[in-house]
Structure 1
Amino acid sequence: MDMLWMHLLGHLSQLCSDLRPEVRNSANQTIFKTISINGKRLTLEAWDECIWNILFPLLERVKISSEQSEHFSHTAGAAGSVASTPISGTISASGIPINPNDSPAKFWNETKTLTLTGITNLLIQFFPVLIDLESSFEKAWTLFLDYIRSWALKGSPEVAAAAIKCFKLLVRYPKDLVRATPSKYRTDNILDLDNMSPYQEAAFTIITGTTPDLSLIPGASELILLSVSGFIRLPFVRLQTLSDDDLQSARLQPQTGGMEKGFTYMALAKRSIQTVVTLFEKHGSQASVYSGGIFESILACFDVPMRAKYDCPAPGLKDSTPLWRVAANSAMALVILGLRSLDALSRDLPNNILTGIYSQILDTFDGFLLPQSSPDASISSDELDVATDFDISIFETFETDVLLHLGQLHVSDALVKDHIQIICRASRLYKSHMSSLADISFSSQKGSMSALIDTKQSSIKRLASNEPSSAFNTRASRISVTSTTKTMGRMNLGTDVMPLGREKFSKVCLASLLKLCSDELNDLKDVRYRIATIAAPVVLDKMRDIIKSYASDRPLYGKLPLPRIRSEEILIVLSNLRDLQMRVGILHELVSEDKIREFVVPIF
């Protein structure tokens, strides 16, 4: 029976390269529909023969015949003769009437489209069966991808669009198809924590390969950067489909020694991060990368693992570097490269483009420096120290290599202030409820004294006018003060202070705030002066709040010491204020603009 099927399909495939377009296109539709309906009846041996003796020879004949026809058309056109055309009034395979005046190349483009689409649909439909062919199917898969790449690059726009569409269908497997595949296919893919699966490798190579080099096509380098950076999101797209239990398991795989099930895309994501940096070094100086929003989109992809941080899926066993750390290192390299290019391109780019780029940079590092996730309880203190040191290194690199770019005139004051506010939030060492209670107490006492004075004056007026007494107002104020004092008395001193974690990192941020106003560094004086002018009110406000909070809480503790973290905080502030050499002219400018009084007077 298999021999009869192969004999029938073989003769039918011969007609698929017939010179008459209506004949070959009808034969194309017939052969693929026949295999689709009866493919389940074929044995593995028959499928192997069908692939290598029917489908690929069909592809090759269509390719060769179309090239010969195109060559003949050019030759005939040069000689003044007319090439053979289809019969007028016939209908094409797509249902559109054939125009005899159309060139043969157009008819062959339709045949190529039918052939690519037909084979793609067969591979997807019978994938669970074909995978059992093992190495034979892997070779067939690779060869078919070569055909797709060749026609996508060298074919007409119509054929190229069809080839790209087929490629997308092949690399995006439905979930039920993945679940239905045999164990060998699943085994290949559960190892993609450390190494990309063969299919991921093939897709990645088509986009980033150098034979042929897609980046030589105008506008293709931007699309390649977007495509590769999009792979960084894949591990998180998968996590959205997991339950809470599976999500927790995905985060803890390295600690528990288990192996991630199904696609993880971890190796693909890490490889993509490295490749984006390499591609950006080559193409990052192009103005279109910035004017077209490519740079912002790339940073947005890096922002996903950086913002997730401790919620990132588990890394591989061979390469145990967390995905967020790989992304942060590479994002810093991208930002430095991008800002250097922007120095030369800023005059030619609109302000809204520049503002969008700088806003995306700040947003990316804001999400990284102030993550919403928290480390798992199973992470050791040594690992937390390593993570904190890494955060400090990224922060210091940002302050050294990025901050000066933000101080240039084409960057708005609001963006510079946003960056300073990020440092302020990152410098918080703890949360405390004591200050709020103290503010209530002091405001209540103030209100009580005012009430007593008002009561004394009103009593004199009442005696003169015989008005009724309103002493209950004074009593209410006294009750308010008493209840607040009792509330503070019931609170155990020190228990209101809750450390926020990453103490070492927060102390570095706190000390760096005052350095923004310092004149220690004299390179790019105008830029540093502008940053100091914008930073001074924010920094003084931060220092005022710390000193005022300490001064108001200190009496409440009596002879008891304040919590260690609060004592260290005030020491950092006072020692840095003592050693601060404010950049010349900053305070005078703030005083002249009446911006400093509201910050300095409340401290004293």
Structure 2
Amino acid sequence: MRCWGAEAVTSLVKAALSHTYDPPLHQNLKLQTCILGPLQELSTIHQPDIRQRQLECILQILHNNGDKLVHGWPLVLGVIGAVTNDQGEKLIQTAFQSLQLVVTDFLPIIPCQYLQVCVEVAAKFGLQHQELNISLTSIGLLWNISDFFYQNRERIAKELESDLSENDSKKLGMPAFDSLWMCLYSKLGKLCVDQRPAIRKSAGQTLFSMISAHGSLLYKDTWQKVLWQVLFPLLADVQKLSSQASNVRDDAATGNILIHHSRDTAEKQWAETRVLTLAGVARTFNSKRRFLQPIGDFPRAWTLLLEYLETASLCQSAEVSLAALKSFQEILQISKDKPEDQKIEGLPQMAPPPEEVIHRTEDGKSNEQVQSNKLSSDVETEYDLSLWTAAWKVWLNIGTNSTKPPKVTNKSVKVYVPSQAFLTALIQTFPYLFEHIKPRFVTADLQKLSSVLQMALSVPVHGDASPFIIPSYPEITVTPLQEAVLQAMDVLIKAVHSGPEQMQSMYPDIYHQLLTYVEYGVRVPKYGQIEAKAFGTVKGPQVAWVTMNFVPFSEKCVEMVVDLYRITARHTAVINGHILENIIKAFRLPLSYKYGCPSPTTWMLVINSLLSILTIGLPVARKHESSFNGMWSELAQTFEEFLFSKSPSLPTLSVEDFQRDEAIDCKVVQLIRDDILSHTCSMPGDFVKKIMQLLNKGSIHATPSDQFIDTESSRKLREEFAKTCFETLLQFSFISKSQSEEGSITKVAVLSLLQRCQDVVKKYVEDERLSGKCPLPRPRLAEMASVLKAITTLISSLKKAPPGNVERGVWNQVIQLYPSLVDCTTSPSPSVCKALKDVLHEYKDLLQPLNTATQNGTV
């Protein structure tokens, strides 16, 4: 009976619709309602067979009489949309066939006042859970509907306004056409938080593409509703549901389907949704900012968006945190049309936001859009600056909290450490943000930035990822993170150099930052309590954490220090900030390590850089003596620790490399000769004495260490270094043409040098006598040969000096050496004998007949 009743109703409805009426059926609203009403009432019956006949009837009506359903569309759409989740897959499929037919064939003839019903019905099919493909297809139908709205925007807007009463218009609070779009956006927003990942992804992509393509049609007040009724509620829901999602794999839900490990839990699937939503909202803020900024509460919206980005950036999902940073970059509005001279040199350009997903040929600009486009681009007001200041605070919060070392109480507990990709994106964001906040950037901001940069650099790499991140020999270069830090520092330096005097007071802080990085080349920073192995020491089984290789990064910082000092050496802030002293202190560390540095290129670069800086800085120091009082002792200590390093050279060091290193030592002595001893009158006496002691020590300290390879190979002695020290000592003492107080200091040094040589010679003779036929150790033979060569150089230099400049006491000391030298003639060492032969030849000019007046011991 039930089936017969349904058959009767559906047959009567189809027959009634096929009958010819006068006036025509499409003009008679009351008659259409009377005919279709009984068919709609069948929706209250839950029997599947009845509903099946009802829906089949609807499909036939659409095929046969769809063009006549003018005011009957609400009833037809109501029947289609009345299908619920619990009514079976077959009913849903039949109803959806009718909906597809409506959207593809009948949208142009449906009265505009019923279009919203069509949107609501299509969204219902997206929410049903019986058939996934139908939900996905319904989202595609919503996109088609939006495309239809855009193509026919003028007709639809005009009809809606004409059909809307004044009271209804006030209730809407927006133009009727905008209300239609709001319905579309709201329905898609609900689909974006569906339980099924595929639906969320499809709905999210459709929503943000729709806003990007068609958002220009909306009025300003409607944009406010889009923000507060669609976008921000969507962000809140996604954030909440993402945080509540399970991180345990549900095999029952996935069945036998293979799922990639990056999407095998609900938490990971919601992470993808969160990434998509953040990117979409950020892109909307960027590409539609000209519509959003005139809104009265835009600052509140901007702040709220930044809060969402900050929260997402600090979550422990690497995917979400990195995507949040990229969305943060998105809202910085890096324009693809930016003039070349305004681009930051050396920085990778961020991808410009897509203005439109679909390029239209028609002008879809509303009156509000035309007015918004008249906003002058040169109004970079205090209002804008406050927005970017808020962004800067968020960047600092992200940087500070994400790089904070975790508290490691139990080694077995897994700790979260930000990835190198995340840190790189974070630091890469700074230069662009800095362009907006530059007018308000003060020293306190620089110090906070420095803290973030230092902590980011100190973050280690997980052992499993280290082979893919840390460059290996011989291709050792800076990592992307280190490159980003260097670029950030370069941007800062350029801004400070070209900025006002107040900004140039930041020079000391910039130097401090660069010099800290220089230290990383030999002393790797620690990251809290995490135990990390140094780069290059990891062998065998993998370790948990590996530190980055800082050598190339540190060396680039050394070069930056030199370049910066060249242009700022005479700046008041640099002089008063004792920058030269700080540079010497920082350089002292790698110079004292010398052969102990992780890379030999480090100390070579540092010493050459120090010599370049001293060439520039010493004249400034002599001019401003009071500001450099503490520098001199630091410089003397640095010279001593470098020239007489406690780190022995490698046994495998070749003769050529040894001679290269010796030449560097000689360059240091030459700088002492040309730029220090030539101006001793303006330098502290203690410093000059210390320098003389160094030269004294160097003049006989020809071997770099006790571990000497071959004493027979004279090329392995620091002969040139000793000779340079001797010549420098003598040049600025009694041999010089002018007498001075400094000259007397040098005389004492030379006398003590002669005494020291005599002690070495006497000790050698005594030890050789005691050793009998057993030869002395090689280091002793090398030392003796070195001392003899030093005496040869000294006597030769003394003989070349003007007679009046050499005191008699010096000659007496030289002559007193002669008996001890004669005692050495029994030495079996070829190197000692050769050196002894040379020194005895120098005494030839000192031998002369006795004066007759002094014969027989009388005067």
TM-score, with length taken from structure 2:
0.45
Is residue 683 of structure 2 the alignment partner of residue 416 of structure 1?
Answer: no
The correspondence of residues 33-112 of structure 1 with structure 2, limited to 5 A, is 35=312, 40=317, 48=323, 55-56=328-329, 58=331, 108=387, 111-112=390-391
How far apart, CA to CA, are the structure 2 residues paired with 1:572 and 1:329? Answer: 27
How far apart, CA to CA, are the structure 1 residues paired with 2:788 and 2:613? Answer: 37
User: What is the deviation of 1:166?
Assistant: 5.3
Contact kept in structure 2, 1:392 and 1:505, CA below 8 Å? yes
How far apart, CA to CA, are the structure 1 residues paired with 2:381 and 2:702? Answer: 79
Helix, strand or coil: the match of 2:391?
helix
**Aligned mate of 1:173, from 452, 456, 463:** 456
How far apart, CA to CA, are the structure 1 residues paired with 2:697 and 2:526? Answer: 29
**Aligned mate of 2:483, from 182, 201, 204:** 201
Gaps in structure 1 of 5+ consecutive residues: 75-103, 253-260, 316-321, 432-498
**Aligned mate of 1:342, from 604, 609, 621:** 621
**Aligned mate of 1:572, from 777, 790, 809:** 790
Is residue 508 of structure 2 the alignment partner of residue 508 of structure 1?
Answer: no
TM-superposition CA deviations, 1:440-498 (whole Å, max 9, x none): xxxxxxxxxxxxxxxxxxxxxxxxxxxxxxxxxxxxxxxxxxxxxxxxxxxxxxxxxxx
Q: Which amino acid aligns with 1:573?
A: I
Task: Name the residue aligned to 1:537.
Answer: 748
Task: Name the residue aligned to 2:555.
Answer: 270
User: What is the deviation of 1:296?
Assistant: 0.5
Change (3 A) 1:401 1:145: same
Q: Which amino acid aligns with 2:557?
A: S
User: What is the deviation of 1:506?
Assistant: 5.7
Larger radius of gyration: 2
Task: Name the residue aligned to 2:304.
Answer: 27
Contact kept in structure 2, 1:513 and 1:539, CA below 8 Å? no
Task: Name the residue aligned to 1:227.
Answer: 513
Task: Name the residue aligned to 1:376.
Answer: 650
Task: Name the residue aligned to 2:582.
Answer: 297
Is residue 440 of structure 2 the alignment partner of residue 155 of structure 1?
Answer: yes
Task: Name the residue aligned to 1:546.
Answer: 757
How far apart, CA to CA, are the structure 1 residues paired with 2:402 and 2:451? Answer: 13
How far apart, CA to CA, are the structure 2 residues paired with 1:163 and 1:414? Answer: 38
Contact kept in structure 2, 1:232 and 1:270, CA below 8 Å? yes
Q: Which amino acid aligns with 2:643?
A: L
Q: Which amino acid aligns with 1:566?
A: M
How far apart, CA to CA, are the structure 2 residues paired with 1:278 and 1:427? Answer: 34
Task: Name the residue aligned to 2:837.
Answer: none
Is residue 617 of structure 2 the alignment partner of residue 327 of structure 1?
Answer: no
How far apart, CA to CA, are the structure 1 residues paired with 2:536 and 2:389? Answer: 49
User: What is the deviation of 1:551?
Assistant: 4.2
Q: Which moved more, 1:232-241 or 1:554-563?
A: 554-563
User: What is the deviation of 1:35?
Assistant: 3.2
Change (3 A) 1:534 1:566: same
Contact kept in structure 2, 1:296 and 1:357, CA below 8 Å? yes
How far apart, CA to CA, are the structure 1 residues paired with 2:535 and 2:378? Answer: 59
Helix, strand or coil: the match of 2:524?
helix
User: What is the deviation of 1:283?
Assistant: 1.7
User: What is the deviation of 1:9?
Assistant: 4.7
User: What is the deviation of 1:414?
Assistant: 1.9
TM-superposition CA deviations, 1:262-316 (whole Å, max 9, x none): 522221222222222222222212344233211110111221211110000125x
User: What is the deviation of 1:544?
Assistant: 1.7
Change (3 A) 1:43 1:225: closer
Task: Name the residue aligned to 1:365.
Answer: 639
How far apart, CA to CA, are the structure 1 residues paired with 2:648 and 2:593? Answer: 10
Change (3 A) 1:569 1:11: same
Change (3 A) 1:20 1:175: same
Contact kept in structure 2, 1:148 and 1:163, CA below 8 Å? no
User: What is the deviation of 1:402?
Assistant: 2.9
Helix, strand or coil: the match of 2:609?
helix
Identity %: 14
Helix, strand or coil: the match of 1:374?
coil
Provide the aligned C-alpha RMSD in A: 5.2
Change (3 A) 1:508 1:9: farther
Change (3 A) 1:230 1:569: same
Gaps in structure 2 of 5+ consecutive residues: 1-192, 194-199, 209-229, 236-280, 335-371, 405-415, 540-545, 704-713, 820-859
**Aligned mate of 1:356, from 622, 625, 630:** 630
TM-superposition CA deviations, 1:171-215 (whole Å, max 9, x none): 63386663288568x425557974222222222122224895321
User: What is the deviation of 1:72?
Assistant: 9.9
How far apart, CA to CA, are the structure 2 residues paired with 1:39 and 1:568? Answer: 65
Task: Name the residue aligned to 1:215.
Answer: 497
Task: Name the residue aligned to 2:594.
Answer: 309
User: What is the deviation of 1:224?
Assistant: 3.3
User: What is the deviation of 1:418?
Assistant: 0.8
Q: Which moved more, 1:538-547 or 1:118-127?
A: 118-127
How far apart, CA to CA, are the structure 2 residues paired with 1:23 and 1:210? Answer: 30
How far apart, CA to CA, are the structure 2 residues paired with 1:55 and 1:181? Answer: 29
Contact kept in structure 1, 2:570 and 2:620, CA below 8 Å? yes
TM-score, with length taken from structure 1:
0.61
The correspondence of residues 275-290 of structure 1 with structure 2, limited to 5 A, is 275-290=560-575
Contact kept in structure 1, 2:578 and 2:628, CA below 8 Å? no
User: What is the deviation of 1:508?
Assistant: 2.0
Change (3 A) 1:68 1:20: farther
Q: Which amino acid aligns with 1:384?
A: F
Q: Which amino acid aligns with 2:602?
A: L
Change (3 A) 1:173 1:296: same
Q: Which amino acid aligns with 1:224?
A: I
How far apart, CA to CA, are the structure 1 residues paired with 2:717 and 2:686? Answer: 28
Change (3 A) 1:414 1:570: same
Is residue 709 of structure 2 the alignment partner of residue 425 of structure 1?
Answer: no
Helix, strand or coil: the match of 1:238?
coil
How far apart, CA to CA, are the structure 2 residues paired with 1:231 and 1:544? Answer: 45
Task: Name the residue aligned to 1:396.
Answer: 670
How far apart, CA to CA, are the structure 2 residues paired with 1:73 and 1:570? Answer: 78
Change (3 A) 1:155 1:302: same
Change (3 A) 1:579 1:43: closer
How far apart, CA to CA, are the structure 2 residues paired with 1:250 and 1:530? Answer: 54
How far apart, CA to CA, are the structure 2 residues paired with 1:220 and 1:163? Answer: 8
User: What is the deviation of 1:169?
Assistant: 2.4
Q: Which amino acid aligns with 2:684?
A: S
How far apart, CA to CA, are the structure 2 residues paired with 1:278 and 1:308? Answer: 24
Helix, strand or coil: the match of 2:522?
helix
How far apart, CA to CA, are the structure 2 residues paired with 1:583 and 1:22? Answer: 84
Helix, strand or coil: the match of 1:580?
helix
User: What is the deviation of 1:51?
Assistant: 5.8
Contact kept in structure 2, 1:270 and 1:323, CA below 8 Å? yes
Contact kept in structure 1, 2:692 and 2:749, CA below 8 Å? yes
Q: Which moved more, 1:304-313 or 1:24-33?
A: 24-33
Helix, strand or coil: the match of 2:562?
helix
User: What is the deviation of 1:335?
Assistant: 0.8
Change (3 A) 1:510 1:146: closer
How far apart, CA to CA, are the structure 2 residues paired with 1:276 and 1:149? Answer: 22
Q: Which moved more, 1:552-561 or 1:267-276?
A: 552-561
User: What is the deviation of 1:155?
Assistant: 3.1
